[in-house]
Amino acid sequence: MGLEAICQPRPNIYNPDTPFTNQAIFTHMLLGGLVMILAPLQLIAHVRHDYPRVHRLAGRLVVLAAIVVSFGGFIYIVRHGTIAGPLMDIGFALYGALMAVAAVQTIRFARKGDVRRHNNWALRLLVLLAGSLIYRLHYVFWYLVTGGLWSNEQLTGPFDQVQYFAFYLPYLALLEIWIRRRKVVQRMR
Ligand code: HEM
């Protein structure tokens, strides 16, 4: 399969016989795009400190959109199934579950005024959101370097199977290490 094909939405996603599932997955893609634009705004300290209302409003939109994106993905997985079958279903469902949990925790701790936990969960949410881009970037680099070794059009090759989890789990693990190290350094001060 060519690199262009992996970067295109797959034609099998739309099915004229399942309008509800189509709506779920297209809402998913639309809000997914919106959240990818809005989420990085939350990292800008100047916006957080000088325009707290913008931070709060954008934060609520990001959280709500992330939850809808996750549920749109779940509906698609349950009613249609991913292109590659059960293992990809599991990888993507876990991704969606983690994203929904991170979104809820982010707003929950913000409302409680627990800034440290809010920040940590917001970072987890950002890493998960970035996963959608990282997934595609992994493919771009892999295809450029290997020409698509261990990958096929149905996304069932060994490389594809690693991808079902590799676009978010290693990055979440790295973030956890960073969060724990930062905590230790702060305690020592
Ligand atoms: C910001 C986050 C996300 C964005 C921008 C996004 C975007 C997209 C886009 C553009 C597609 C179209 C198809 C393609 O590229 O092949 C897609 C497909 C899909 N997404 Fe997401 N998505 C996000 C998060 C999620 C989450 C959290 C889940 C899990 C619940 C999920 C599950 C799926 C599934 C199952 C498909 C169909 C895969 C297949 O071809 O079988 N996505 N997404």
Q: For ligand 1, what atom is nearest to the CA of residue 7?
A: 15
Instruction: Determine, yes or no, domain membership for 128.
Output: yes
Instruction: Determine, yes or no, domain membership for 62.
Output: yes
Cα 131 to ligand 1 centroid, rounded to whole Å: 10
**Residues 136-168: tens digit of each pLDDT:** 999 999 999 999 999 999 999 999 999 999 999
Domain of residue 75 covers 11-188
Q: For ligand 1, what atom is nearest to the CA of residue 32?
A: 5
CA distance 137 to 146: 14
CA distance 124 to 26: 25
Given a cut of 90, whether residue 5 has pLDDT beyond it is no
pLDDT band at 11 (very low <50, low <70, confident <90, very high): low
Instruction: Determine, yes or no, domain membership for 147.
Output: yes
Instruction: Determine, yes or no, domain membership for 164.
Output: yes
How many domains are contained in the chain? 1
Instruction: Determine, yes or no, domain membership for 101.
Output: yes
- Cα first-last separation, the chain: 54
Rounded to an integer, the average pLDDT of 6-35 is 87
Instruction: Determine, yes or no, domain membership for 6.
Output: no
Instruction: Determine, yes or no, domain membership for 84.
Output: yes
DSSP 51: -
Rounded to an integer, the average pLDDT of 52-75 is 98
Cα 171 to ligand 1 centroid, rounded to whole Å: 18
Residue of 107, 161, 109, 106 whose CA lies nearest to 138: 161
Q: For ligand 1, what atom is nearest to the CA of residue 129?
A: 1
pLDDT at 26: 96
Given a cut of 70, whether residue 7 has pLDDT beyond it is no
Residue 132: its H or E element: helix 115-146
Residue of 77, 97, 99 whose CA lies nearest to 88: 77
CA distance 141 to 14: 27
Instruction: Determine, yes or no, domain membership for 159.
Output: yes
The residue assigned the tokens 């249609």 is 80
CA distance 123 to 118: 9
51 lines ligand 1 (CB under 6 A): no
68 lines ligand 1 (CB under 6 A): no
pLDDT band at 188 (very low <50, low <70, confident <90, very high): confident
pLDDT at 8: 57
**Residue 28 exposure: Cα atoms within 13 Å on the Cβ side:** 20
Q: Please provide the average confidence, as pLDDT, over all residues in the chain.
A: 94
Which residues have a Cβ under 8 Å from the Cβ of 90 and sit 6 or more positions away? Answer: 164
pLDDT at 45: 95
CB 106 within 8 A of CB 55: no
Given a cut of 60, whether residue 4 has pLDDT beyond it is no
φ/ψ of 9, rounded to 5, equals -60, 140
39 lines ligand 1 (CB under 6 A): no
